[in-house]
Amino acid sequence: MNPMPRHFSPALCRKRAFTLVETLITLAIFGVTAIGMIELYLFGLRLNSMVNVKLQATEGARHAMSILATDIRDAGIVYVGNGDASSFTNSAFDAPQEGNALEIYPSKTNLNDYIIYYLDSSDGQLKRLESNQAAPTIIAGSVTNTVVFDSEDYAGNVLSNSYNNRVIGITLQFYQLDNPMLKFAPGQVYDAFQLQTKVTRRALE
């Protein structure tokens, strides 16, 4: 029978072992830490989703304004009124020059070539349709205001006639889910955005 090594001490081994209480406390601390890290991760995902919604709305609105501004500046004739993909009605004489649609003729001589911008009330999308296109292009979505375009004077007053040197006012109001991750959750939060600009044709002769 081998003698017990001198360095082996049962009492010392007992002192180095974890008790049941110590093990439970360690597991509890680990569990609380893990739950905290998971909650922090989920909060980061929610925050990232909210920021993405705002960035996408801003980017979409700026893209729409950029295309609109270019078409209006280069236009030969611009009319403000109401319409859709199949029809356009110019605002009446001695009536406020405003509506949901804009008709643009790049040339004053070729009236068969035109561009129509209109707000589709069925889906809240601002659309662009060229005369040679079969289907419109979506410029912006989640638009809530019905009056998107108007004709203004230099002071910002809505005109009642189509003066040659008028300014075209554009207003886009957006209403979107603040956090798409909670799309079907009760008490979901929406956020509102608004973008306004004014554009004038370059050729005012």
- The 10s digit of each residue's pLDDT in 15-69 is 566 788 888 888 889 888 888 888 888 888 777 766 666 666 666 667 778 888 8
Confidence of residue 195 (pLDDT cuts 50, 70, 90): confident
- The per-residue pLDDT for 123 is 85
Domain boundaries, the chain: 33-199
How high is the pLDDT of residue 26?
A: 86
Would you state the pLDDT for residue 184? Answer: 46
Contact 119, 128 (CB under 8 A): no
CB of 116 closer than 8 Å to CB of 88: yes
How large is the average pLDDT for residues 198-202? 88
Higher pLDDT, 204 or 199: 199
**Cβ atoms of residues 88 and 117 within 8 Å:** no
User: How is residue 160 written in tokens?
Assistant: 């009642």
Q: Which whole number is the average pLDDT over 94-100?
A: 92
Average pLDDT over residues 175-197: 61
> Two tokens at 183?
């799309």
Q: Give the long-range contacts of residues 156-160, CB within 8 A, separation 24 or more.
A: 156/198, 158/96, 158/97, 158/98, 159/96, 159/97, 160/93, 160/94, 160/95, 160/96, 160/97
The model carries a pTM of: 0.67
Q: Which residues pair with 102 in a beta bridge?
A: 80, 117
Q: What is d(CA 102, CA 81) in angstroms, rounded to the nearest whole number?
A: 6
**What's the chain's average pLDDT?**
80
CA distances 2 to 6, 11, 12, 61, 78, Å, are: 12, 20, 21, 86, 107
Beta strands 137-140; 125-130: pairing state? antiparallel
Query: Looking at the predicted structure, is the pLDDT value of residue 108 above 50?
Result: yes
**pLDDT for res 14:** 54
The H helix count followed by the E strand count for the chain is: 2, 10
Phi, psi at 83, each rounded to 5°? 180, -175
Q: Which position has the higher pLDDT, 43 or 183?
A: 43
- CA neighbor of 75 nearest in space, from 83, 84, 67: 67
